[in-house]
Every structure is written in structure tokens, then in C-alpha cells.
Structure 1
Amino acid sequence: MSHEAESSNPVSDPIPDSGRVIGIDFGTARIGIAVSDPGQSIASPLEIRQVQNQNSDGNYFQQLVKTETAVGFVVGLPVHMSGDESKKSREAVAFGQWLHEITERPVAFHDERFSTAMAKEICSQLGLKGPKRKTHLDKIAAQVILASWLELEDRNQNLPKSLDSNQ
């Protein structure tokens, strides 16, 4: 499924400094979801959303914003090791733009290099294997992305420099 958007520019104003933030590990089949505490100091894995269609997914994210009283989203940006954008990063930016449009919440993008590797390590440490590991991996990756973003001193940088130059 494709969530269309026009360009790879940042999609919104900065995320407020307080209130719950939702972390997203974007995928075309599954979306890992994590959420912060209202003080934005702790990220916790929430769930995995099986991608369905734009209408159903839109309703889901609108409800998620209400349920979690979310003030914004952080979408993981899968860039190459060099920091250059990839096809997947353009898809993630398009998804983030769509997410902003349907939820009216600010969206920031955060480099997700190594998030899956870190999530796999966490799953190993927790003793998760096979099907159990698969059911947790994407939401733990979202937690890693969100936790990394929460630790930033300057959260106003929405995109890596390689994508930011497209403005």
C-alpha cells in the first residue's frame, strides 16, 4: 500500500516539548509503534499495525492519537550508511506527510540506522525466538527510534542533511 505525498520536505512544525509522542518503524506490510510518556523521557513499545488500506490505516492513526493523547510522531528514516536517502526513506517521508495530513499532528523524522539490529539484540536479551521474536521486533525497533529521538538535544532537526537539502 502506498501513502502518497508530494515531496521529501519536513512536514510540520516541531513537536511540542511535552506530551506523548508516537514512534513509528515504517514498513509497507507492518508498522511498529512505540509511545513516550507525557514527559518525553521514556519510550515503550506499543504494538504492530498490519498495513491494510489508506482509509482503514487513517482511521487507526486518528484513533491512536486520541487514545494516546499524542502531540506528534517520530518516523524512522531508513537512510543508507552514507546518510544518503534511499527508496525506503522516500517512502517513509511520504508516509510521514500522509500521517501529518490525516492526524493534524507534527511529524519529525529520525535516522533509524541500526534500529533493527538493536531491536534484534534486545529480543535476544529477552530470550524471544521464532514467532514471538517476529511479533515483537517492529514495535521494539519503533521504541529504539523513539528513545534515540527523545535523547536528542536539538529535536528540531527533522531530516538528515542529505534530505534537508531538497527544500
Structure 2
Amino acid sequence: MNEAAVPGDYPRGVKLGIDVGTVRVGVAVCDRDGILATPLRTLERNTKKNTDVRILAELAVELGAVQIFVGLPRTMKGEEHASARMASDYAELLAGKLGECGSEVPVLLVDERLSTVTAHRNLHEAGMSSRNHRKVVDQVAAAGILQHAIDMQKARGTDVGRRVIAESSPGPTGDGAQAGPATDMQSAHTHSAQNGRLQ
């Protein structure tokens, strides 16, 4: 059963990290105590049928995830371009699919600058040949995104990221979602969303 956040706190439990690419989507998971993020699997991106989105939603429900962090790639200057838009759209699709599954697991966008670069470097340092990087680099990058998020939660004692709401998903009162897919964290998360800024 998902544990609700309380003021000045953040949810405890299994969390997922997602690294979105044009061809593959990396997935990582952390333990219930939020200590260590580990690579889980790599999914082939299916932009026509979004089967990977469905698999992710089902996986989140199966694992009893309390949060899902999707990496938002920014430039070193903090700007958001096409890849960031792709990640935001993917997060919205995932939020919508979770809603269809009857799940209220929050999907949050978090800054992921250089996650893939770092993943390649870590794999190289671990002795893996560049030829084999492709098989696991996305899930390693996802682990980096998730580790960053859970470390920030512990360091700050508050939740992090920016919650994404699917435009077609019903709101708490049955109305459509408010303007745009990304909103400040709602209810207990609102105070810790840093006024809508990504952490």
C-alpha cells in the first residue's frame, strides 16, 4: 500500500527512475528505504502503440511504487529543448496510462543533465566495452536519475521534482486537469515543489 507524504516529508517506498530516449527507455528501481537505485531493465520505445508506456505503468503497479521520476534533459545553461519536450510528453503519457490502470502513483520530472554521459563513463570505468554499453546504458542512466532524486529527498527532508498530470486525466473533483501537463505538486507536495521549479 502506498504511503502518503506528510508535511515536511516525502513518500517512503519503492520508486522508479526513467531515462527516456528516442529508441530505448531505461528503467531503474530503489529499495523501500530509498538508499540505493539499481538498473532494472531497458524497454524498446514504441511511439505508435506506446507498449513501453503500458509496461511501465503495469510494472509500477506490480512493484507498489510510490513515485516515478522521469529525467528531464536540460542544457548546461539550464535550457529545455526537443529532448526535454520528449521527456515531458512521455511523462504525461505515463501519468495517463497509470490513471487508466486506476493508479495514483505520481510522475515527477527531475533535472537529469549529463546522466547518460555519466552512465557511459561509469560503464567504461567498470571495464565494459563500448560495444556493450548500448544494452545497459539507458537503465544505468535511469539509476543515476533516481539516485539523484532520492539523495536530494534525504538531504532536504522534502519532496523534489515537478509533478506531471495527464491532460485527459480527471482531477480530484472529476474535472479535467489544469492548464498544461506539468503542475506544482498537489496537496501535501505543494509546499515542497519549490514553486514549480525542478530540483
> TM-score, structure 2 length as denominator?
0.68
Unmatched segments (≥5 aa) in structure 1: 1-12
Pick from 47, 50, 57 the counterpart of residue 44 of structure 2. 50
Greater relative contact order (CA < 8 Å, ≥ 6 in sequence): 1
What is the alpha-carbon distance in structure 2 between the residues aligned to residue 119 and residue 55 of structure 1?
Answer: 25
Runs (4 or more) in structure 1 with deviation over 4 Å come to: 13-16
2:171 is equivalent to residue 155 of structure 1: no
Kindly name which structure, 1 or 2, has the bigger radius of gyration based on alpha carbons: 2
8 Å CA contact retained: 1:25, 1:32: yes
One-letter identity of the residue aligned with 2:130: G
Task: Give aligned pairs, total.
Answer: 150
**RMSD value, Cα:** 2.3
Pick from 76, 92, 104 the counterpart of residue 71 of structure 2. 76
8 Å CA contact retained: 1:17, 1:40: no
> TM-score, structure 1 length as denominator?
0.80
Unmatched segments (≥5 aa) in structure 2: 100-104, 164-195
2:39 is equivalent to residue 35 of structure 1: no
8 Å CA contact retained: 1:25, 1:138: yes
One-letter identity of the residue aligned with 1:92: A
- Aligned-residue offset at 1:46: 0.4
One-letter identity of the residue aligned with 1:36: C
What is the alpha-carbon distance in structure 2 between the residues aligned to residue 123 and residue 80 of structure 1?
Answer: 23
One-letter identity of the residue aligned with 2:134: K
- Aligned-residue offset at 1:145: 0.7
8 Å CA contact retained: 1:16, 1:71: no
What is the 5 A alignment of 1:1-167?
17-52=11-46, 53-104=48-99, 105-152=105-152, 153=156, 154-158=158-162, 164=196
What is the alpha-carbon distance in structure 2 between the residues aligned to residue 59 and residue 157 of structure 1?
Answer: 23
- Aligned-residue offset at 1:55: 4.6
